[in-house]
Amino acid sequence: MKKESTHPPIISWEGQAVGLLDQTLLPHEEKFILCDTLPALWEAIKSLRVRGAPAIGVSAAYGVVLAAELCRTMDPDVFAREVHEGIDYLATSRPTAVNLFWALERMRGCLDSMAGSGVAQQKAHLLEEARRIEAENNQVCETLSEAGANLLKDGFRVITHCNAGGLACGNFYGTALGVILKASEQGKRISVYADETRPLLQGSRLTAYELHKAGVPVTLLCDNMAGHVMRTIGVDAVIFGADRIAANGDTANKIGSYSLSVLAREHGVPVYVAAPLSTVDFTLSSGELIPIEVRNSAEVAGFAGIRTAPEGVEVYNPAFDVTPARYITAIITEAGVLYPPFEKSLGRLAPGYSTVS
Ligand code: MRU
């Protein structure tokens, strides 16, 4: 049976502001905030009020609509220059999730295609494009979830890392959690181990919240328990999302995904990455080239404003790691389930690919 959406709205265009469900407050408070300036939206992306690669992309697309609405000029050239500046500014918010740049570049292309038109017409066109990006993203998430669900058999015990659910995508299904939701809609009994995902606990705060609400059995684990669970209880699949996938299949995702994949290999557990094609960066030949966000030391040295580490101690806080393609069993996309060698299976889906040589 199809699961009903239990989410409050996650991202919406509110006329003069981008509306967001503040994910830093979940699961205790479902608060919708309005970002009516570009710095407010930039801060919301930076501080993970909106997070997850596809959701960052959709909110940034509406951010461009906001940049346009905030322009007071009626001169099309001045307008275009100011919106371009807004796009460049939003692009500085977070470096790893390629969906941010993908969505901003689509909005830039839309703006450029309207050069010479009146300001009101350009604003309307930008809003249409942002709405199209959102609608396509929703469809793509559902399609890939359906494609991946066939990989999960009745009774499967699955480990997931971070949050690749609806919250991360601005819709109901999401990606990795969408695969799980679709499999359970098909009547399969799927149970999930959710890594808590230090330092910011997306697994505990968000994945457990989403699966619990959807009625999917979920058991919370500290990140360092996965190996023990694989060895003593048994796990049938690892599934997580992606922030950026290189052309060879190397995948950047939340820090800890790499260690989980290495453990899975040791225990003969398949590793599935679920992501839309907008997360594939065909310009990068390998994961070595993916920029990894290094975040504030306070996130590791304490939690919720309470310091837990000694004052003055050195902290390293990379937010993502790269799982080499050799650890990945398959990549689940809206174009179907792709298998190694990913250079070929992904390559065939690259923009401009042609079978005619
Ligand atoms: O730092 P975050 O919370 O934005 O990191 C999110 C992740 O790593 C997700 O797993 C990834 O974006 C996939 S979301 C469908």
Domain holding 96: CATH number?
Answer: 1.20.120.420
Say if residue 115 is in the same domain as residue 158. no
- CA angle 225/196/292 to nearest 5° reads 105
Say if residue 111 is in the same domain as residue 175. no
Q: What is the pLDDT of residues 240-292, one digit of tens each?
A: 999 999 999 999 999 999 999 999 999 999 999 999 999 999 999 999 999 99
Say if residue 32 is in the same domain as residue 163. no
In a domain, 205, yes or no: yes
CA 47 – ligand 1 centroid, Å:
13
269 Cβ closer than 6 Å to some ligand 1 atom: no
Say if residue 228 is in the same domain as residue 260. yes
- Domain boundary, last residue among 116, 141, 166: 141
Give the amino acid at 124: A
Say if residue 106 is in the same domain as residue 50. yes
Say if residue 228 is in the same domain as residue 113. no
In a domain, 2, yes or no: no
Q: Are the beta carbons of 239 and 193 closer than 8 angstroms?
A: no
Res 26: pLDDT: 97
Res 353: pLDDT: 79
253 Cβ closer than 6 Å to some ligand 1 atom: yes
Q: For each of the chain's 357 residues, which pLDDT tens digit applies? A: 666 666 678 999 999 999 999 999 999 999 999 999 999 999 999 999 999 999 999 999 999 999 999 999 999 999 999 999 999 999 999 999 999 999 999 999 999 999 989 999 999 999 999 999 999 999 999 999 999 999 999 999 999 999 999 999 999 999 999 999 999 999 999 999 999 999 999 999 999 999 999 999 999 999 999 999 999 999 999 999 999 999 999 999 999 999 999 999 999 999 999 999 999 999 999 999 999 999 999 999 998 889 999 999 999 999 999 999 999 999 999 999 999 999 999 999 998 776 554
Q: What tokens were used for 152? A: 């999960």
Say if residue 131 is in the same domain as residue 182. no
In a domain, 170, yes or no: yes
Residue 108 is part of which domain span? Answer: 11-141
65 Cβ closer than 6 Å to some ligand 1 atom: no
Res 356: pLDDT: 57
In a domain, 216, yes or no: yes
168 Cβ closer than 6 Å to some ligand 1 atom: yes
Are β-strands 280-281 and 244-246 bridged in parallel, bridged antiparallel, or unpaired? parallel
207 Cβ closer than 6 Å to some ligand 1 atom: no
- Measure CA of the first residue to CA of the last residue in the chain; give whole Å: 46
Res 277: pLDDT: 98
Q: Cα(175)–Cα(140) distance, rounded to whole angstroms? A: 9
Q: Are the beta carbons of 273 and 245 closer than 8 angstroms?
A: yes
CA-56 nearest atom, ligand 1: 4
Instruction: Using CA atoms of 162, 165, 167, 168 in order, give the dihedral in degrees to the nearest 10.
Output: 60
Query: Treating both helix axes as pointing N-terminal to C-terminal, what angle do 53-70 and 76-90 enclose, rounded to 10 degrees?
Result: 150
Say if residue 137 is in the same domain as residue 171. no
In a domain, 357, yes or no: no
In a domain, 206, yes or no: yes
Which residues are identified as catalytic? 243
Say if residue 28 is in the same domain as residue 156. no
321 Cβ closer than 6 Å to some ligand 1 atom: no
CA-202 nearest atom, ligand 1: 3
Alpha helices (H) along 114-199: 119-149, 166-169, 176-185
CA 114 – ligand 1 centroid, Å:
33
Q: What tokens were used for 2? A: 């199809």
What is the distance, to the nearest Å, from the Cα of residue 250 to the centroid of all Cα atoms in its chain? 16
- Domain boundary, last residue among 88, 122, 141: 141
Res 357: pLDDT: 44
Q: Which residues contact 318 (CB under 8 A, 6 or more apart)?
A: 255, 292, 293, 294, 295
| Integer angstrom CA distances of residue 13 from 89, 140, 152, 166 | 19, 20, 36, 18
Nearest CA to ligand 1 atom 5: 52
CA 77 – ligand 1 centroid, Å:
37
Q: Cα(54)–Cα(98) distance, rounded to whole angstroms? A: 9
- Number of domains into which the chain is organized: 2
Q: Cα(316)–Cα(300) distance, rounded to whole angstroms? A: 8
CA-162 nearest atom, ligand 1: 10
Q: Are the beta carbons of 13 and 62 closer than 8 angstroms?
A: yes
In a domain, 83, yes or no: yes
In a domain, 328, yes or no: yes
Q: Cα(256)–Cα(264) distance, rounded to whole angstroms? A: 12
174 Cβ closer than 6 Å to some ligand 1 atom: yes
CA 53 – ligand 1 centroid, Å:
6
- Ligand 1 binding pocket mutation candidate from 140, 240, 253 (most atoms within 8 A of CB): 253
Query: Treating both helix axes as pointing N-terminal to C-terminal, what angle do 98-113 and 119-149 enclose, rounded to 10 degrees?
Result: 140
Say if residue 190 is in the same domain as residue 49. no
CA 242 – ligand 1 centroid, Å:
7
Q: Cα(162)–Cα(278) distance, rounded to whole angstroms? A: 19
**What is the CATH classification number for the domain harbouring 300?**
3.40.50.10470
CA 161 – ligand 1 centroid, Å:
9
Q: Which residues contact 17 (CB under 8 A, 6 or more apart)?
A: 34, 35, 36, 66
How many residues in the chain?
357
